[in-house]
Chain A
C-alpha cells in the first residue's frame, strides 16, 4: 500500500478507536457505551490490518464484535432499566483521573524515549496456518490450558448465572433463619411436609357427569 493510503488508514482508524473509547467515558447510557465500544473494537481491528495481522484482525471482529459485545448487551438486558446508567462515580473519578494521567505520562515517556530497535521485515504470510501450527507444536501446553480455562469459564458462568426457584427459596430461607437467629435446614425448604388437606383420605367422589 502506498504511503498516503497508509497514513489515511492509520489516522482515521486511530481517530475511530480513540473517539469510540472517549465516547464510552462520556455516554451516560450503558447501551450507547457498548455501541461505542464496538466502534472502538472495529478501529482496533482495522489497525491490526495496517500491521498486516489479518488473522488477528478477523478474530478480533469475530470475538469482540460478534460475541463479547453481544454478551454484554445480553447482561445489560437481563438487569432492569434503572441499572443501565453508565455515569461515573464522582467520588472515584478525581483520584482515578490523577492516577490515569500519571500512568499516561509514564507510558508515553517509555514509548517515545526508549530505543526499541524496531526492524521492518516483510510481514508474515499465511498467518492462520503459521499460528495454527505453532499453537499445536510449540504452544501445545498453553493451548490445552486455554481450552481448560474456557471450559471452566463456561461451566462457571453457567453455574453462577443459573439460579432456579428452588435455589432462590433456599437462599432466602437461610438468610431469614440467620436474621431470626434460628438453625437452618435446607431440606425443609426443598421438600416441605405436605399440608394435611392433601394427605387426608378423600371421600369417595360420585362420578361427575354432564346432563344430557
Chain B
C-alpha cells in the first residue's frame, strides 16, 4: 500500500511545476520506502543525469539552429530554411549526416589516445551541469565547494583537448592543442580571480549560496563588480574557444585546430560538447553576475528555471553577437591581454572586495545604503581601470594613426612618394591613434 501512497503523492504534486525537485524527492522517498538505500541514491543520480541529458540534447539541437539563424541575420543571409518548418530540422539532418559518415583515423595516429577524447570530453561537459542551480533547490548537486568544483571540472577538459591534438599526429592539431592548453592555463587565472571576488564578497563557495546572497541583498553582482563580470565573460569566451579568442581552432590559420583529424560523429561530439559548454557557461555567467534564478520578485510568479533560461539566452546571444562581429586576436596578443590587463584588473577587484566586505562586516554598515555606494565606486573604478589599461597596455604600433593620403597630380616612385607624404594638408582620412 505504501507504494500506492507514494505514487499518489507523485501525482498529487505534479502540478507544482515551479520546483521540479519536488518530483525527484518524491520518487526517492518512494523508493526508500521499499528498496535499499543504495538503489535510492543510484536512482537519484540517474534521474539527475537523465534529466540533464534530456534537457541538453534537444536544447542543443535547437541552439544550433538559433545560432545559425542569428549569425545568418548578422550576415544578411536567410540561414537554414529548407529542412522542416523554418529549417528547424536542419540540425537533425546534420546530425544524421555526421552519424552516417565514415570515421577516419590517420594511420600514424596514436590509436587509443585518438579514440578516447570524443568520449572523454563529454565527462566534464556533463558534470559541469550538475552544479548549475535552476532554482532554490534545483541543482543536481548543491556542493558547498561548488565554485571550486566548477573550476576543477572545467580544467580537466584541457587534458582531453591535448590528447586529441597530440594523438592525431597532425601539425595543425598539435599547434591547436598547444594553443588551447596555453590559453586555458592562462585564462583560468583571471577566471579564478573573478570568482574569488564573488566568493569573498558573498562569503560562500556554494553556487546556490551566491544566488541566494544576491537575492537577500537585492543586488546583482554585475552592478557591484562590472569589470569582473566583463573579465569573466571574456575569459569564459576564451576558454570556450569562441571568437575573438578562438585561436585553438582558428580556421584561417590552423584549419580546425585540435579536432582537424576527427571526422563523422567524432567531430560531432566535439561540436556538441563545445555548444553545450557555451550554453552552460552562459548559464553560469547569468547565475554569478545576473542573479541566476532570482529576479527582484519575479521568481514568485514565474518558474525559476524559466528566469534562468531567459538570462542564459541573453548571455548566449551576447556570445553569438561577439562571434559574429569581431575578428580574432593573435596568440601573443591574447596572452598579453590576459597577463597584463585581465589579471591585474581582477586582482584589483579582489582587493576591493576584501576591503568592502571587511567594512560591511566589521563596521556593520546598513547594506541597503552601503551597497549602492559601493556599486557606484566600483563602476567608477572599473571605468578608470579600463581607461588606464587602454592607455598603458596599448602597443606602440597602434599609437600612431593610420593615414591615407590622396595623390592627385603626383605619380611616380620614391620622389613622388616623399612629396605626397610631405604635403602638409590633412590626410583624406585617418583612423586609430591615441
> Footprint of B on A, CB under 8 Å?
1-2, 4-5, 29, 31-32, 35, 38, 54-55, 58-59, 61-62, 65-67, 69-70, 73-74, 77, 126-128, 207-212
- Do A210 and B413 contact each other (CB < 8 Å), given the known contacts A1-B38, A55-B145? yes
CB of B46 to closest CB in A, whole Å: 13
Segment at the A interface, from B73-81, B157-165, B286-294, B380-388: B157-165
Residues of chain B contacted by A55 (CB below 8 angstroms)? 145, 148
Instruction: Please measure, in the bound complex, the distance between the C-alpha atom of A62 and the C-alpha atom of B189, giving whole angstroms.
Output: 12
Contact B38 A4, beta carbon cutoff 8 Å: yes
Contact B159 A69, beta carbon cutoff 8 Å: yes
- Do A58 and B413 contact each other (CB < 8 Å), given the known contacts A5-B38, A35-B163, A69-B159? no
Contact B148 A62, beta carbon cutoff 8 Å: yes
The contact of B412 among A29, A58, A65, A212, by CB within 8 Å, is A212
The contact of A35 among B113, B148, B412, by CB within 8 Å, is B113
**Given A59-B148, A209-B412, 8 more contacts at CB 8 Å?**
A5-B37, A29-B110, A32-B110, A61-B156, A70-B158, A73-B162, A209-B414, A210-B412
CB of A153 to closest CB in B, whole Å: 16
Instruction: Please measure, in the bound complex, the distance between the C-alpha atom of A145 and the C-alpha atom of B153, giving whole angstroms.
Output: 29
Contact B181 A65, beta carbon cutoff 8 Å: no
The contact of A54 among B143, B163, B166, B416, by CB within 8 Å, is B143
Interface residue B155 (Cβ < 8 Å from any Cβ of A): yes
The contact of A74 among B148, B181, B205, B412, by CB within 8 Å, is B181
Residue with the highest number of chain B CB atoms closer than 10 Å, among A35, A55, A65, A66: A66
Contact B155 A67, beta carbon cutoff 8 Å: yes
Find the A residue at minimum CB distance from B151: A62
Instruction: Please measure, in the bound complex, the distance between the C-alpha atom of A58 and the C-alpha atom of B151, giving whole angstroms.
Output: 9
CB of A2 to closest CB in B, whole Å: 4
Q: List 28 A-B contacts (CB under 8 A).
A: A1-B37, A2-B41, A4-B36, A4-B38, A5-B37, A29-B110, A31-B110, A31-B113, A32-B110, A32-B113, A54-B144, A54-B145, A61-B152, A65-B152, A65-B156, A66-B151, A70-B185, A73-B159, A74-B181, A126-B144, A128-B205, A208-B413, A209-B413, A209-B415, A210-B412, A212-B411, A212-B412, A212-B416
Residues of chain A contacted by B411 (CB below 8 angstroms)? 212
Residue with the highest number of chain A CB atoms closer than 10 Å, among B143, B162, B178, B416: B162
Residues of chain B contacted by A58 (CB below 8 angstroms)? 145, 148-149, 152
Contact A70 B151, beta carbon cutoff 8 Å: no
Find the A residue at minimum CB distance from B146: A58
Q: Say what secondary structure dominates the interface of chain B.
A: helix
Contact A67 B185, beta carbon cutoff 8 Å: yes
Residues of chain B contacted by A35 (CB below 8 angstroms)? 113, 159, 163
Contact A2 B37, beta carbon cutoff 8 Å: yes
Contact B155 A62, beta carbon cutoff 8 Å: yes
CB of B40 to closest CB in A, whole Å: 9
Instruction: Please measure, in the bound complex, the distance between the C-alpha atom of A61 and the C-alpha atom of B37, giving whole angstroms.
Output: 28
Contact B152 A211, beta carbon cutoff 8 Å: no
Q: Say what secondary structure dominates the interface of chain A.
A: helix
Interface residue B246 (Cβ < 8 Å from any Cβ of A): no
A-facing mask of B188-224, CB < 8 A → 1, else 0?
A: 1000000000000000010000000000000000000
Instruction: Please measure, in the bound complex, the distance between the C-alpha atom of A67 and the C-alpha atom of B38, giving whole angstroms.
Output: 34
9 closest A-B pairs by CB: A210-B413, A66-B155, A2-B37, A62-B152, A61-B152, A5-B38, A2-B38, A212-B412, A58-B148
Residues of chain B contacted by A2 (CB below 8 angstroms)? 36-38, 41
Instruction: Please measure, in the bound complex, the distance between the C-alpha atom of A128 and the C-alpha atom of B152, giving whole angstroms.
Output: 15
Residues of chain B contacted by A67 (CB below 8 angstroms)? 155, 185
Instruction: Please measure, in the bound complex, the distance between the C-alpha atom of A1 and the C-alpha atom of B110, giving whole angstroms.
Output: 40
Contact A66 B156, beta carbon cutoff 8 Å: yes
Contact A207 B414, beta carbon cutoff 8 Å: yes
How many residues of chain B are within 8 Å of chain A by beta carbon? 34
Contact B159 A38, beta carbon cutoff 8 Å: yes
Residues of B26-77 contacting chain A, CB below 8 A: 36-38, 41-42
Find the A residue at minimum CB distance from B413: A210
Contact B38 A61, beta carbon cutoff 8 Å: no
Residues of chain A contacted by B185 (CB below 8 angstroms)? 67, 70
Residues of chain B contacted by A74 (CB below 8 angstroms)? 181
Instruction: Please measure, in the bound complex, the distance between the C-alpha atom of A69 and the C-alpha atom of B157, giving whole angstroms.
Output: 12
The contact of B413 among A5, A62, A77, A211, by CB within 8 Å, is A211
Residues of chain A contacted by B112 (CB below 8 angstroms)? 32
Residues of chain A contacted by B178 (CB below 8 angstroms)? 77
- Do A61 and B153 contact each other (CB < 8 Å), given the known contacts A5-B41, A207-B414? yes
Instruction: Please measure, in the bound complex, the distance between the C-alpha atom of A122 and the C-alpha atom of B155, giving whole angstroms.
Output: 31
Residues of chain A contacted by B110 (CB below 8 angstroms)? 29, 31-32
Instruction: Please measure, in the bound complex, the distance between the C-alpha atom of A65 and the C-alpha atom of B153, giving whole angstroms.
Output: 9
- Do A66 and B188 contact each other (CB < 8 Å), given the known contacts A58-B149, A209-B412, A209-B414? yes
Residues of chain B contacted by A61 (CB below 8 angstroms)? 152-153, 155-156
CB of A79 to closest CB in B, whole Å: 14
CB of B171 to closest CB in A, whole Å: 13
Residues of chain A contacted by B163 (CB below 8 angstroms)? 35
Instruction: Please measure, in the bound complex, the distance between the C-alpha atom of A3 and the C-alpha atom of B110, giving whole angstroms.
Output: 41
Instruction: Please measure, in the bound complex, the distance between the C-alpha atom of A1 and the C-alpha atom of B40, giving whole angstroms.
Output: 10
Instruction: Please measure, in the bound complex, the distance between the C-alpha atom of A77 and the C-alpha atom of B181, giving whole angstroms.
Output: 12
Residue with the highest number of chain B CB atoms closer than 10 Å, among A5, A55, A62, A77: A62
Instruction: Please measure, in the bound complex, the distance between the C-alpha atom of A58 and the C-alpha atom of B147, giving whole angstroms.
Output: 10
Residues of B326-378 contacting chain A, CB below 8 A: none
Residues of B382-425 contacting chain A, CB below 8 A: 411-416
Instruction: Please measure, in the bound complex, the distance between the C-alpha atom of A211 and the C-alpha atom of B188, giving whole angstroms.
Output: 58
Contact A128 B145, beta carbon cutoff 8 Å: yes
Find the B residue at minimum CB distance from A66: B155
Contact B415 A65, beta carbon cutoff 8 Å: no
CB of A144 to closest CB in B, whole Å: 17
Residues of chain B contacted by A1 (CB below 8 angstroms)? 37-38, 41
